[in-house]
Structure 1
Amino acid sequence: MPKSAVPSAPPRLTIAKLARSIGVSPATVSNALNDRGHLSARTRARVLEAVAQSGYAPSFTAKALRTGRTQTVGLILPNITNPVFPLMAQEIEREVSARGQAVMLMDSQGDLGAQARALESLRGRGVDAIILVACRGTQQGDVPDGVILIDAPSNPRSDVSSDHFLGGQLAARHLLDLGHRRIGALAGPQNSRVAQERYRGAASVLHAAGLDFVPRVHSSYGLEHGESYAAQHLPGACSAVYAVSDSLAVGLIRGLQARGLRVPDDLSVMGFDDVVWAELITPPLSTIRQNAPAIARFAVRLAMGESVETRAVPVELVVRQSTRPRQV
């Protein structure tokens, strides 16, 4: 039986072929595509219309050989399964794509060694810029010069981040305004700058009111740690709990419900991040919303050399049904 013929790919449409079909020079097509040169509005419009009709797509390989740039931005995330980071990655990809470039995504899985290997891999591939969302324990010396770092503002090397300290302050003020005076804390990992800024911001507000968090527990992120807190600490010890991440807060709510306790009737719960879970859990979670689009815009501008300003992006208090005034 004769083998089926495998259809060959159609020949690639080049600038030279496109130029011949229009009756202009390849330089004219290139200038129209890159918005440069001294072309009349009529010529530019004619070329761009022909390009749109032809379905022509530029060769990034050829452009890289010509310009020495790959038109690619590397992005390293610490945990792609954390709902915060896919949203940030989507916004970064949108910003990079709008500039005619592409994103190469890598996941360090929260491991410093994997993060170092990802940085080395991206540099070896010649990406034009690297944006790094630092994993826990990252030190200044771990980040090569030129890498755009998204971390906590307390890291002098950080280029852009949420104002985590402000978010902690907003969370604590919300609970105090509701009349809570005995407040517990799920304070997150002690080796995380982000978690500890969120905790210190809240603690500063409580200390100004002559109060402190009781009980306070440090742990990794994750639903199971919130559930464990619910199992080990009686609601009678406090009337509200502030968790430095929504994953901890959601785990806490689930753990309380497993014990037959009600949120917020028996205990108010406050989170941080405003991930998709925050609205899906019952009751919906009061939390602090990060502005992922703004972080993405600033990070990409820095990566593209469009801005040199360090930014601490403001956050927003989102009040839902998991918090209520303290019951007398």
Structure 2
Amino acid sequence: MDSSETDAPPAPATSPARASMHDVAALAGVSHMTVSRALNGYPNMRDETRRRVLDAVEQLNFTRSPIARALVTKRSMRIGVLLHGQVNHGPNTTLRAFERAARRHGYAVTSVSIDDDDQRPLDIGVMELVTQGVDAVGIIAMRPTSLARVRKYTVGLPVIVEMDEPQEGLLNAAYDQTQGTERAVEHLIGLGHRSIRHLAGPLDWHVAQARAAAWESTLARNGLPVVAPTEGDWSSDSGYAYARDADLGDATAIFVANDQMALGVLHGLHERGLRVPEDISVVGFDDVPESRHFSPPLTTVRQDFTELGELMLTDLLAALEGRPSPDHGLLESTLIVRESTAPASPRDR
């Protein structure tokens, strides 16, 4: 047989060469360093320059090699995140936003969830992250009692905590819990409510402590009586049990520390024969996507957890790259007024 007719193995398909950072720089008309800064979120850059770089990245379908970048930066290109407590809307949304932002900057994220107050799982969780060689650590839904142990196991690493109070040696990013709570309580006071109860979250959580303290101080500042708050566990079941069984006395409004508990409160009040908002007003916190569909739709305090997750990642990257963290201050929440609040009846004012 003629050798020209033998079944020779097909030639391997040639794949297009992978675009490099230098290719991006050439297309955008900038330096290699400018491309690096644009991709790492460097703050002091003209918007037009950043746009040219990102357009070039998209046009070339450029992706940075984590291995190559790790060799250059001497980093693992991995960030650890510790998530306290049950995975509810706020912490879970913050984590997802943090992960998406990290991927855009070439980092992988390893997350560990701690489900209860036992200190052994906390130790194990932090050690699990650190022993994987993470470059930095983020703590979402922080318990103040955990701070000492976090410091112990993360020496030498940039650490950011979701707390609205500065912590020595740690970065922090958070919503201003006092500001958000004051808006909620002052809304009720403005409607003529003079007896406002509070269903708090677990009081070993920082946000629950901060909201309870702000509720109390706002009432005191307005010369209104303060009845000790009841402690829930963030779940709708605890809200239901509270509204069904608590001695509400002359209360005409309830400030609830999160929307999940507020959902249970609405259910419990209904079973008790109390109408919302005609007999009693209810305000929640967080503005979960379902809160607009509660019956009645819930007045609540909105926090943008996506913004928070992205901000936490930005601050960690700045620390990793030796840049000062942006001076963003605490984030401010927004009061969303819906149908679960109404003016107090004249006899209750």
Asked if Structure 1 and Structure 2 have the same fold, meaning a TM-score greater than 0.5 normalized by the shorter chain, the answer is yes
Does residue 1:129 correspond to 2:132, yes or no?
no
- Where do residues 134-213 of structure 1 align in structure 2 (5 Å cutoff)? 134-144=141-151, 145=155, 146-153=158-165, 157=170, 159-213=172-226
For 1:155-203, what per-residue CA distance to the aligned partner results, in whole angstroms no more than 9, with x for missing partners?
5656111100111111110000001001111122222221121121122
Does residue 1:99 correspond to 2:105, yes or no?
yes
User: Structure 2 unaligned runs (5+)?
Assistant: 1-11, 26-30, 36-52
Shift in Å at residue 49 of structure 1?
9.2
Contact 2:81–2:137 (CA<8 Å) still a contact in 1? yes
- In structure 2, what is the equivalent of residue 298 of structure 1? 311
- In structure 1, what is the equivalent of residue 4 of structure 2? none
Shift in Å at residue 115 of structure 1?
3.0
- SS of match in other structure, 1:89: helix
- In structure 2, what is the equivalent of residue 18 of structure 1? 17
Alignment partners' CA distance in 2, 1:228 and 1:259: 11
Matched length: 300
| Larger displacement relative to structure 2 (100-109 or 284-293) | 100-109
Contact 1:186–1:219 (CA<8 Å) still a contact in 2? yes
Equivalent position amino acid for 2:332 in 1: P
| Larger displacement relative to structure 2 (188-197 or 145-154) | 145-154
For 1:9-39, what per-residue CA distance to the aligned partner results, in whole angstroms no more than 9, with x for missing partners?
x9997xxx938xxxxxxxx945336862799
Alignment partners' CA distance in 1, 2:88 and 2:297: 19
Shift in Å at residue 300 of structure 1?
1.0
Aligned pair partner of 2:114 in 97, 108, 111: 108
Change (3 A) 1:185 1:326: same
Shift in Å at residue 323 of structure 1?
0.6
Change (3 A) 1:50 1:150: closer
Equivalent position amino acid for 1:148 in 2: I
Alignment partners' CA distance in 2, 1:269 and 1:62: 54
- In structure 1, what is the equivalent of residue 22 of structure 2? 31
Alignment partners' CA distance in 1, 2:17 and 2:90: 44
- In structure 1, what is the equivalent of residue 345 of structure 2? 327
- In structure 2, what is the equivalent of residue 85 of structure 1? 91
The percent of aligned pairs where both chains have the same amino acid is 29
- In structure 2, what is the equivalent of residue 6 of structure 1? none
